[in-house]
A and B are shown apart, each in its own frame.
Chain A
Amino acid sequence: MNDQELIPHLFRTEYSKITSVLCKLFGIEYIETAEDIVSDTFLLAAETWGLKGLPQNPTAWLYTVAKNKAKDFLKHQHVFTNKVAVEVKRSEGFADELEIDLSNTNITNSQLQMMFAICHPAIPAESQIGLSLNILCGFGVDEIADAFLTNKDTIYKRLTRAKEKLRTENIKMELPLASEINSRLEAVLTTLYLLFSEGYYSTSKNTTLQKDLCIEAMRLTLMLVENEHTSTPQVNALLSLMCFHSSRFEARINTQGELIVYEEQDETLWNLELIEKGHFYLNNASKGHQISKYHLEAAIAYWHTHKTDTHEKWESILQLYNKLLQVEYSPIAALNRTYALSKANSKKEAIVEAEKLDLTYNHLYHLLLANLYQGINTEKVFSHLNTALMLAKTETEKANISKKISLLQAN
């Protein structure tokens, strides 16, 4: 890694750590101050390192500077007298010896607490993902806007409002009580799941960014798995699901950054180590009695790590989708279920079932029907592909459908 890449890289990894630790120390109502301190630290790093060269240990340098800036802030603010000083006096220290704890343990704990603070029920769901990306993953407004295919202003306003909410709702940086952990975890898991999906199914053309989103979601989920209070079967199931999906990273995107569909992937490119890990966490997830949607989706993803079409594979996937839809309906699950039905039972049965789905506005619905009608009714294949082309939202999708149409016309 050269010097030019080092600062953005450190920013990504260290921004969240220092911000979380400072928020824990100051109280989350000072989140913007904490962020300012960290931003100033990076600014100073860019200036100083540019002039004097890299320090021996850049991370330690950042921590020292951030600590000093934090101490200055505390000395000059009423937060010190009102909040921290009381606690500091209770322990043995004095203001000058105030220790800002940037040990690994405290960093991890602070980040975990930050996760729960961001996914507090008082914060609107749409803001939770943006806040997570911003504060927990060190993503800038530009990157978040790119990932959500929206503009910077919208994201900026959304983040500012959400941070305001953290302040006004008096949200604490703490792990929920053992009795609340399951219900509070649900919101955290939803956010991490969406974060991962945003990366995995993103229509953004920035493939590096997509992968980063997935990696960040996995890093945060792993933190939950590694903490004894939060490592529930559901959390393990979610991590298993992410491992199985991400095992196909290298196989699903070609050198031009285009998506390669599952059927056409070179399975020798699938990452066996991640598949192994998927098995491991799925095993951990099977403790307990509850079967969550993450369990079902992880099991479906498990079957997709078997490339060969067998009856057992598709029958299992069909039954898992049957159950998943009972836990939580979603259009994509309904469509995938119908595809599995065609593989496990018959195309004819699947066509009848597909036509009962009230999803005619969805281009994926028409792509499914075009697929099912292949070899049965060519006219229908083309009419559904044309409707899909009309309904598709992004250029990439439109291009893929057009390619499909011309391929079929050539045959």
Chain B
Amino acid sequence: MKEFLLIFRREDSNYAEQMSPEQIQAILKPWNDWIGGIAAQNKLVTAGNRLESDGKVVKPNNLITNGPFVEIKEVLGGYTIIRANSLEEATELSKGCPILQVGGSVEVRAIIPMNN
């Protein structure tokens, strides 16, 4: 089995800011169920983390910008690490990701262990 990094991207929006706890719960539930489903197949390495929308990007010559967000439409929203036999299987597992319901995307990348 190999490990795969799933990178979640979605359109930048600050919709999370003025939500009631119930609304947040309603958004989290499909994520929890999806992650739980992968864990139930014993294919979850780590649920990973979500990322705040704010950030900085450091470029050569001390050029610091408020993120690459102005240039591309999608921002990095979070990541998860799973275990699968092949890239195809990892891709299959990604199809249930709730980010796809809100127009986002999942990038699937095999991890190369550092000690190899």
B42 interfacial by beta-carbon distance below 8 Å: yes
Instruction: Please state if B40 and A338 are interface contacts (CB–CB under 8 Å).
Output: yes
- Bound together, the chains give a CA A358 to CA B41 distance in angstroms of 7
A356 interfacial by beta-carbon distance below 8 Å: yes
- Residues in A with CB closer than 8 Å to B44 are 325-326, 329
B106 interfacial by beta-carbon distance below 8 Å: no
User: Shortest distance in angstroms between B45's beta carbon and chain A's nearest beta carbon?
Assistant: 10
- Residues in B with CB closer than 8 Å to A321 are 36
- Bound together, the chains give a CA A237 to CA B40 distance in angstroms of 23
User: Shortest distance in angstroms between B3's beta carbon and chain A's nearest beta carbon?
Assistant: 15
A39 interfacial by beta-carbon distance below 8 Å: no
- Residues in B with CB closer than 8 Å to A318 are 33, 36
- Residues in B with CB closer than 8 Å to A353 are 37, 40
Interface residues of A in 331-373 (CB under 8 A from B): 333-334, 337-338, 341, 345, 353, 356-358
Instruction: Please state if A322 and B41 are interface contacts (CB–CB under 8 Å).
Output: no
Instruction: Please state if B32 and A329 are interface contacts (CB–CB under 8 Å).
Output: no
- Pick the residue among A319, A326, A345 that contacts B39 (CB under 8 A): A326
- Bound together, the chains give a CA A124 to CA B106 distance in angstroms of 43
- Bound together, the chains give a CA A321 to CA B32 distance in angstroms of 10
With most chain A CB atoms within 10 A of its CB, the pick from B35, B36, B41, B42 is: B36
User: Shortest distance in angstroms between A28's beta carbon and chain B's nearest beta carbon?
Assistant: 38
With most chain A CB atoms within 10 A of its CB, the pick from B29, B35, B40 is: B40
Name the residue on A nearest B93 (C-beta). A356
Instruction: Please state if B39 and A329 are interface contacts (CB–CB under 8 Å).
Output: yes
Contact with A along B28-69 (1 / 0, CB 8 A): 010011011101111010010000000000000000000000
**Contact residues of A: prevailing secondary structure:** helix
- Bound together, the chains give a CA A356 to CA B33 distance in angstroms of 14
- Residues in A with CB closer than 8 Å to B36 are 318-319, 321-323, 325-326, 337
The total of chain A residues at the interface (CB under 8 A) is 18
- Bound together, the chains give a CA A318 to CA B35 distance in angstroms of 12
Instruction: Please state if A341 and B41 are interface contacts (CB–CB under 8 Å).
Output: no
Instruction: Please state if A326 and B33 are interface contacts (CB–CB under 8 Å).
Output: no
- Residues in A with CB closer than 8 Å to B29 are 319
- Residues in B with CB closer than 8 Å to A329 are 39-40, 42, 44
- Pick the residue among A319, A333, A334, A338 that contacts B32 (CB under 8 A): A319
User: Shortest distance in angstroms between A376's beta carbon and chain B's nearest beta carbon?
Assistant: 20
- Residues in A with CB closer than 8 Å to B33 are 318, 322, 341, 345
- Bound together, the chains give a CA A338 to CA B37 distance in angstroms of 8
Contact with B along A295-334 (1 / 0, CB 8 A): 0000000000000000000000011011101100100011
- Bound together, the chains give a CA A319 to CA B37 distance in angstroms of 11
Name the residue on A nearest B40 (C-beta). A334
Instruction: Please state if B41 and A334 are interface contacts (CB–CB under 8 Å).
Output: yes
- Residues in A with CB closer than 8 Å to B35 are 322, 326
User: Shortest distance in angstroms between A186's beta carbon and chain B's nearest beta carbon?
Assistant: 20
- Residues in A with CB closer than 8 Å to B32 are 319, 322-323
User: Shortest distance in angstroms between A348's beta carbon and chain B's nearest beta carbon?
Assistant: 14
User: Shortest distance in angstroms between A338's beta carbon and chain B's nearest beta carbon?
Assistant: 6
- Residues in B with CB closer than 8 Å to A345 are 33
User: Shortest distance in angstroms between A320's beta carbon and chain B's nearest beta carbon?
Assistant: 10
Name the residue on B nearest A356 (C-beta). B41
User: Shortest distance in angstroms between B93's beta carbon and chain A's nearest beta carbon?
Assistant: 9
- Bound together, the chains give a CA A326 to CA B46 distance in angstroms of 7
Name the residue on A nearest B42 (C-beta). A329
- Pick the residue among A326, A333, A356 that contacts B47 (CB under 8 A): A326
- Bound together, the chains give a CA A358 to CA B36 distance in angstroms of 15
- Bound together, the chains give a CA A336 to CA B35 distance in angstroms of 16
With most chain A CB atoms within 10 A of its CB, the pick from B32, B33, B39, B41 is: B39
Instruction: Please state if A334 and B47 are interface contacts (CB–CB under 8 Å).
Output: no
- Bound together, the chains give a CA A230 to CA B32 distance in angstroms of 33
- Bound together, the chains give a CA A1 to CA B52 distance in angstroms of 67
- Residues in B with CB closer than 8 Å to A358 are 41-42
- Bound together, the chains give a CA A319 to CA B44 distance in angstroms of 16
- For the complex with contacts A321-B36, A334-B40, A358-B41, 13 further pairs of A-B residues with Cβ separation under 8 Å are A318-B36, A325-B40, A325-B44, A326-B35, A326-B36, A326-B47, A334-B41, A334-B42, A337-B40, A338-B40, A341-B33, A353-B37, A357-B40
Shortest beta-carbon contacts, A-B, top 6: A322-B36, A325-B39, A334-B40, A329-B42, A322-B32, A326-B39
Interface residues of A (CB under 8 A from B): 318-319, 321-323, 325-326, 329, 333-334, 337-338, 341, 345, 353, 356-358
6 contacts between A and B (CB under 8 A): A322-B36, A334-B42, A337-B40, A353-B40, A356-B40, A357-B41
